[in-house]
Amino acid sequence: MRTVNRVASALLGLVALLVGVLVAVEGVLLLARRPSSLMPVERWNDAAAGTTLGDRRVLWASVIVLVVGLVVLAAQLRRTPPTRVAASPDHQPTWSMSRRRVEHRLADSVGGIRGVSHAKAVVRGNEHSWRVRISADAPPGQASAEDVASVAHDELVRLGADDAVPVEVSVRAGR
Amino acid sequence: MTTVVRREDVARAAADAAQAVAGVARLSAGSGVEVSTPYAGGKVVGVRLTPTGAEVHVVVNGYDIGQVADDVLTAVSGALTAAGMPAVVDVVVADIESVRERRSD
């Protein structure tokens, strides 16, 4: 994510720099009463002034803007998991843990049970009210859902989480 | 006379206080947007000053995580108060370093 942010900021900075240089050069040319050669602003002005609302280009531009707007809206409204979870909502003052770290720790702990494989932990809810869903494969008779829940609970306690954090376990009969 | 407290000095004091706590391995920049306090010429990673205090992200090397978090909270809060800043501290345990335990049963 950090790399993406840096690349995006670098690109944005580059674009802003280029546009700024272009505008500055255009300004100087305008002050010097020299014809603009970098940006065909007069042609753009003529094209925009001669375009009506019924033009197909206006229609398509509107459709594209609408679709982009809907995509952005959907992305904003989508429920995302919390980046961190409060260790104990009743604990004052509070401190939090990285949600990913909690998931990794729980998956590692459950994966350490003999016979258990493909252990995965997912934290759902929000920062102050969260729950854990654990799924894993285990051959019949090797590890029960109760075993997994017990180990997960121990790990949550070790992490300093609230006792009341709900843990849902799903054990598939794997090999 | 008015004393001007520099932002970087406050952030550095908070970072030093957090790192001095037993059980703190290091400060963390977080996994998403970097947690830091930028200033002209540099940044203090792991501490983000907020209008009400500071957010501190730490990597803990022990199992008594709650105690370490409480100690960090107290230490950073003290550093902010000493600098005359608001002292609401938000401690985030970004990672835990410990010997991985394997259970056989």
Look up the CATH number of domain A84-173.
3.30.70.1350
Query: In Å, how far are A107, A117, B73 from B67, measured between CA atoms?
Result: 24, 32, 10
Q: Assess if residue B24 is contained within a domain.
A: yes
Give the CATH number of the domain where residue B25 resides. 3.30.70.1350
Q: Assess if residue B105 is contained within a domain.
A: no
| Three-state SS at A159 | coil
Q: Assess if residue B53 is contained within a domain.
A: yes
Domain boundaries, position B40: 7-96
At a CB cut-off of 8 Å and minimum separation 6, what does B105 contact?
A: A113, A114
Residues of A in contact with B35 (CB under 8 A): none
| pLDDT tens per residue across span A99-120 | 998 999 999 999 999 888 999 9
Stretch A148-152: mean pLDDT = 91
Residue with tokens 């902010």: B80
Q: Assess if residue B2 is contained within a domain.
A: no
Residues of B in contact with A88 (CB under 8 A): 66
- Find the range with the poorest average confidence among A157-171, B5-19, B72-86: A157-171
Domain residue ranges of chain A, discontinuous segments joined by +: 1-39, 84-173
The A-side interface with B (CB below 8 A) comprises 1-2, 5, 83-84, 87-88, 91, 93-98, 100-101, 105, 108-109, 112-114, 151, 158-160
| pLDDT tens per residue across span B27-52 | 999 877 889 999 998 999 999 999 99
State the pLDDT at residue A159: 84
Q: Output the average pLDDT for chain B.
A: 86
Residues of A in contact with B62 (CB under 8 A): none
Q: Assess if residue B61 is contained within a domain.
A: yes
User: What ipTM is given for this predicted complex?
Assistant: 0.75
CB B34 within 8 A of CB B46: no
Q: Assess if residue B51 is contained within a domain.
A: yes
State the pLDDT at residue B101: 43
Give how far A150 is from chain B: nearest CA, Å.
12
Count up the domains in chain B and report the number: 1
* Interchain proximity B65–A105, CB inside 8 Å: no
Q: Assess if residue B25 is contained within a domain.
A: yes
pTM for this predicted structure: 0.71
CB B31 within 8 A of CB B60: no
Residues of B in contact with A91 (CB under 8 A): 66
What are the residues facing A138 on neighbouring strands? A173
d(CA A23, CA B1): 46
State the pLDDT at residue B63: 66
Q: Assess if residue B37 is contained within a domain.
A: yes
d(CA B3, CA A86): 36
